[in-house]
Amino acid sequence: MSTTTNDATPATIELENLRKEFTTAGGRRTTVAVDDVSLTVRTNETMAVVGESGSGKTTLTRLLLGLLKPTSGRVRVDGADLAAGTPQQLKELRRRMQVVFQDPYSSMNPRLRVADIVAEPLVTHEPRARGRSGRRLRRTRVGELLEAVGLDADVAHRYPHEFSGGQRQRISIARALVLKPSIVVLDEPTSALDVSVQAQVLDLLAQLKRELRLTYVFVSHNLAVVSRIADRVAVMKDGGLVEVADTHELFSAPSHAYTRALIDAVPEPDPTRSRLRARRDRTEKTDA
């Protein structure tokens, strides 16, 4: 696999009036986790989905990946409905959508070497990569991807516990890219990492997006991280969308009170900007 090209067709994601309800045993209580969400993720953009714990971000992600079926509404990828396709069509759509999880170590089998972890999706989806006859293809693809995420190809023979958190997340990214997807869902991919390592991983993700023409759905509660990587931001509260805007517009002039509260909760290391924020808040209260 070339690290500068991607054979996958760029994809657009459409969420249409998406709703997901969970009912307790016995049907006595119903909880609405996602409530009438409509959203379009454009080709080759990074759409961030933000909100507090319990806002519906995780459920929305699972609906997007086809891991949950919506109570109502649709998820479309380039017009193809995830819920209406044949098993073969669904398999192909899932191949085009890969995910990087929050905790890389918990998403890896500790008994497998890195080479097998990265190659696992390839073996599942491509018969020619299986067995002895596919050994060369697996070795070549894994080596190229490890180098693409900033690791030496020789680490393929080591185990997950031998790596730092940042290195394990790079391995997770390599695994997500092994099938040449067009969409990558990033579920809090930097929240378990130190700040300096977060910056390195974000830079890597931005580089891979440019080189491989990827579309990202970046799920996070960290608005400081979102401001650095996202093209647009969708803000969730109580299962619904309260605001969708370009990143610069959202951070400079948020239109919803909940969005302003999330932004104001981000720690500000610059005392001057902290004073300006406090002054703005006092002005808004006076005008109100």
Q: Is it the case that residue 288 has pLDDT exceeding 80? A: no
User: What local confidence, expressed as pLDDT, does residue 275 receive?
Assistant: 46
User: What local confidence, expressed as pLDDT, does residue 241 receive?
Assistant: 97
Q: Is it the case that residue 40 has pLDDT exceeding 90? A: yes
- CATH architecture, domain 13-253: 3-Layer(aba) Sandwich (3.40)
Q: Is it the case that residue 130 has pLDDT exceeding 50? A: yes
User: What local confidence, expressed as pLDDT, does residue 1 receive?
Assistant: 42
Tokens of 243: 């605001």
Beta-bridged to residue 48, according to DSSP, are 218, 233
CB atoms under 10 Å from CB of 126, counted, come to 17
Q: What is the mean pLDDT of the chain?
A: 88
| CB-CB contact of 131 with 119 (8 Å) | no
Distance, CA of 230 to CA of 251 (rounded, Å): 11
User: What local confidence, expressed as pLDDT, does residue 270 receive?
Assistant: 55
Long-range CB contacts (within 8 A, 24+) of 136-140: 139/115, 140/1
Mean pLDDT is highest, among 24-28, 177-181, 190-194, for 177-181
- Domain locations along the chain: 13-253, 256-288
Q: Is it the case that residue 192 has pLDDT exceeding 90? A: no
Mean pLDDT is highest, among 18-22, 62-66, 222-226, 262-266, for 18-22
Q: Is it the case that residue 2 has pLDDT exceeding 50? A: no
